[in-house]
């Protein structure tokens, strides 16, 4: 269930009208890995398997794309939605000690809320893994944005959902997902690509809103060389993109784009 209808009173100047309004669903889910609580986060439900697989991958908890993952859901009888997901993974495939890594509920808007140590925002690896290369022509950018927007059915119904989409260098859309949170949509896309063994084909990640540092971080973990946003780019996103070797672009709409880091990947040739 990704949308839900609510009674609402609409007003405009002196007019009032009561009717039904469709909203994007936002619901909490608690995630355990091998019996250890990892996080409680909020998401738009319906694609939980892809979301949690992508979350564990982009946060470096289970970075092996071939990891053997078991799955058990505990459903809330009132909502019918998964309230808890228990993931089992061979201990040899869990790369980080998760106990105590998060101290608070993560929100849908911030992928790193609840992380205890500020240094965890930045990659600790030294030297950094080189990001695989990829090239795009400038004319492909509006085409990819249009392709992502064509997949935004929840946004079309509610006006309240973010989207992310992954594209090959040819411009082919490989996966798209929507969620109340920007970074959740990215995790869903990565989860889909892992299941389909297509992650290595991705050249660009397009997101429907602002590009912030957690989007660039997740792109780095997934080794996606280009991140494109329809809205603004934060300073830390640009700094992380420069450090990680990722092309970061924002304000990609109406045939325009502003490229902030590693601009060589977006060409006019």
Active-site residues, by number, are: 110
The SS3 of residue 201 is helix
Helix (H) and strand (E) counts in the chain = 6, 14
DSSP β-bridge partners for residue 23: 4
Give the phi and the psi of residue 248 in degrees, each rounded to 5: -120, 125
Classify strands 82-88 and 70-75 as parallel, antiparallel or unpaired.
antiparallel
CA distance to 89, 145, 267, per residue, from 253 (Å): 41, 8, 17
Task: Count other C-beta atoms under 10 Å from residue 61's C-beta.
Answer: 22
CB 197 within 8 Å of CB 65: yes
CB 230 within 8 Å of CB 210: no
Query: H-helix or E-strand containing 235?
Result: helix 235-244
Write the CB contacts of 67 (distance below 8 Å, at least 6 apart in sequence).
89, 90, 93
């Amino acid at each position: 269930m990704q949308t839900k209808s609510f009674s609402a009173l609409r007003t405009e100047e002196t007019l009032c009208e009561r009717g039904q309004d469709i909203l994007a669903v936002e619901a909490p889910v608690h995630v355990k890995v091998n019996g250890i609580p990892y996080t409680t986060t909020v998401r738009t439900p319906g694609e939980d398997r892809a979301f949690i697989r992508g979350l564990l991958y982009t946060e470096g908890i289970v970075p092996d794309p071939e990891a053997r993952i078991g799955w058990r859901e505990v459903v809330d009888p009132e909502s019918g939605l998964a309230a808890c997901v228990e993931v089992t993974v061979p201990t040899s495939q869990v790369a980080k000690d998760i106990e105590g890594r998060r101290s608070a509920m993560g929100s849908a808007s911030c992928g790193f809320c609840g992380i205890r140590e500020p240094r965890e925002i930045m990659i600790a690896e030294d030297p950094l893994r080189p990001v695989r290369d990829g090239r795009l022509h400038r004319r492909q950018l509006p085409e990819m944005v249009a392709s992502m927007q064509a997949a935004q059915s929840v946004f079309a119904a509610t006006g309240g959902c973010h989207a992310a989409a992954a594209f090959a260098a040819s411009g082919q859309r490989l996966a798209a997902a929507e969620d109340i949170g920007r970074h959740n949509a990215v995790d869903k896309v990565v989860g889909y690509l892992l299941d389909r063994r297509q992650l290595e084909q991705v050249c660009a990640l397009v997101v429907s809103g602002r590009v912030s540092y957690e989007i660039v971080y997740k792109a780095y973990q997934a080794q996606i060389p280009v991140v494109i946003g329809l809205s603004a780019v934060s300073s830390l996103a640009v700094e992380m993109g420069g450090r990680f070797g990722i092309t970061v672009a924002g304000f990609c709409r109406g045939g325009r784009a502003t490229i902030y880091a590693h601009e060589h990947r977006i060409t006019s040739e």
